[in-house]
Amino acid sequence: MQGHCISQTRRLPACPPGGGADSIVVIMLTLNQRDKTVRCLSSLNKVAHPHRTLLWDNGSQDGTLDAVHEQFPQVVTHYCDSNLGVASGRNAAARLAIERLAPSHLLFLDNDMVVSADFIERLYAPFTLGNAALAQTSAKIRFLEDQRLLYSAGGSHVRFWLGATAPAGHGEVDRGQHDQATTCLAHGGAMMVRSDVFQTLDGFDPAFNPYGPEDLDFALRVRAAGYQGLYVPQAVVFHERSQTFESGRYTPNYARNKAQKWMLFMHRHASWPQRLAFHLIGAPYLLVRALIREGKNRNFAAISGLIAGVRRH
């Protein structure tokens, strides 16, 4: 687990209540998203299951921590004056939590979520059943704006040949069709993991900074190490439709980073037939689609960024 910043930690007792062999720490990142962070913490306040929350601020300038200190004095906060990215920020927060709060489990939660009151209890319950292979649990995620619709119900599917990942059940009306627990590739938006496994696998890979499929890379490394992830449909959270990177725009930087991280992810985890299929089918298809989409917007610089990302790997 890597990352370096000039930082300040507040509200971090040396020997916290509840720490030890059976404890949960919620890890949340934020960067200039005060209102979303406060909303998420407000929903966590209604969760009865014992837990601690560690908020890692990646350099906010919008008063996020002032609002958190005022409204949620029980939340452990840590300010880093440089943005470490998602993977390194989560790793640094996890390392701090493990060193000082001694949790048995880490719960990685995006700050644009709103959680149900029994969310943590449901997500933690499978770990109490004695399955030594269980390393991760993943929640059912519905859209916040329309809570009938699913964002994810069973982790993510990876289609290497097409250069795409897709949350299971995405966009479907939730009629209970995904209410059976099943093994899955857990994604990091609402995912609980055993602290010992997280440390053994050295956390998320900083190679995916500033953002990328670091969560799916971790889930695949969990599987390769002989562990498993489990989708828990009774653990429900609500996700806001948002795109925080590059202000939601398909910029050259965004296109280059996305392509570069995908190539890294694919070459690390895909079989050679899958890689061949991507180069013969997926890559040309994605390029043509991007040309049509961005050509209409005269955003040709993004196309050059996409090509540069593929070539750079």
- Give residue 56's pLDDT: 97
Q: Say how many C-beta atoms besides its own lie within 10 A of residue 167's C-beta.
A: 18
Contact in structure between 233 and 119 (CB atoms under 8 Å): no
Residue 15 binned pLDDT confidence (cut-offs 50, 70, 90): very low
Summary mean pLDDT of the chain: 89
Q: What percent of the chain has pLDDT over 90?
A: 74
Give the CATH fold of the 7-242 domain: Spore Coat Polysaccharide Biosynthesis Protein SpsA; Chain A (3.90.550)
- Give residue 14's pLDDT: 42
Helix, strand, coil percent values for the chain (each to nearest 5) = 40, 25, 35
List the single range of 1-10, 99-108, 110-119, 228-237 with lowest mean pLDDT: 1-10
Asked whether the CA dihedral 145, 90, 226, 120 is positive or negative, the reply is: negative
Domain ranges of the chain: 7-242, 251-312
Is the pLDDT assigned to residue 19 strictly greater than 50?
Answer: no
